[in-house]
Amino acid sequence: MPAYNAAATLQASMDSVFAQTHADVELVVIDDCSKDASWDIVQSMAAREPRLVSIRMACNGGVAAARNAGIEAATGTHIAFLDSDDRWLPDKLAQQLAHMRATGTFISYTAYSRFGESGGELSIVRPPAEVSYADMLKSNRIGNLTGLYDRALGDGRFQRIGHEDYVFWLAMVRRAGIARRVPNPEPLAEYLVRNGSLSADKRKAAQWQWNIYRNVEGIGRVRAAWYFAHYAAIAVGKRR
């Protein structure tokens, strides 16, 4: 859990992790040199919760660097991600781990709800039951707050790039071959949509997507355009 000036939401996010029915969990919170009370909140929680590992970055390095520091510090057999303004529902990890064991899956994800800053639900995102690398090239189907991977697959790394979550899961699914959603299609996590967030800038998002096709994945112009057409169509469908 990376945190930067997250005092208003951090406690609820941490509480949602420790409220999991799968209790054998380690929460690594990485404070990215917050200027508010975030670090104090983390330290207060760590004093009464032994499952919390707190890290304070030496300098502000951004969310990719913070997540990578968390991956390096984690000691568990599986890794999941949760931002400091999002929340998990109590049975999220239990359902994912059970499904992964039953199916031999290395990467799991779930449906999730999108909420506005006023607290109202904006939409529910229900991804397909399974996705391949080719499917992921058409659209990111794994909400970062829902993704969980088995470290037997090998750890991934986040890049400091637009759509860093997408690039991470794209690489992980390519490595695994396939990722699967838990059978339950109902939301198991809650994602906060902030007003004026970078993800809300559709033009910039499109530029990032094209850059990923051409410069990260090394896809030729014609094939990249084919995938981009699918990306745009799916994006329009999501807004509708």
150-195 pLDDT, tens digit each: 999 999 999 999 899 999 999 999 999 999 999 999 999 999 987 7
Q: How far is it, in rounded angstroms, from Cα 74 to Cα 101?
A: 21
| pLDDT for res 7 | 97
Output the pLDDT for position 201.
Answer: 73
In contact, 104 and 94? CB cutoff 8 Å: no
Helices 221-239 and 202-211: crossing angle in degrees, nearest 10, is: 150
Work out the pLDDT band at 200, boundaries 50, 70, 90. low
pLDDT one-digit tens code per residue, 66-89: 999 999 999 999 999 999 999 999
pTM (global) more than 0.85: yes
Residue type, 40: D
What local confidence, expressed as pLDDT, does residue 233 receive? Answer: 87
pLDDT of residue 187: 97
- Residue 22 DSSP code: S
- The 3-state secondary structure of the chain reads CEECCCCCCHHHHHHHHHCCCCCCCCEEEEECCCCCCHHHHHHHHHHHCCCEEEEECCCCCCHHHHHHHHHHHCCCCEEECCCCCCEECCCHHHHHHHHHHHHCCCEEECEEEEEECCCCEEEEECCCCEECHHHHHHCCCCCCCCCEEEHHHCCCCCCCCCCHHHHHHHHHHHHHCCEEECCCCCEEEEEEECCCCHHHCHHHHHHHHHHHHHHHCCCCHHHHHHHHHHHHHHHHHHHC
**Cα 50 from Cα 74, distance rounded (Å):** 14
Do 173 and 131 form a contact (C-beta atoms < 8 A)?
A: yes
Secondary structure class of 181 (helix, strand, coil): strand
Question: What are the pLDDT digits (tens) for 44-62?
Answer: 999 999 999 999 999 999 9
- Mean pLDDT value across the chain: 94
Name the nearest CA neighbour of 152 among 181, 166, 170, 172: 172
Query: Tokens in use for 11?
Result: 């406690």
Residue 125 CA to residue 121 CA, distance in Å, equals 11
Residue 156: count of CB within 10 angstroms of its CB: 19
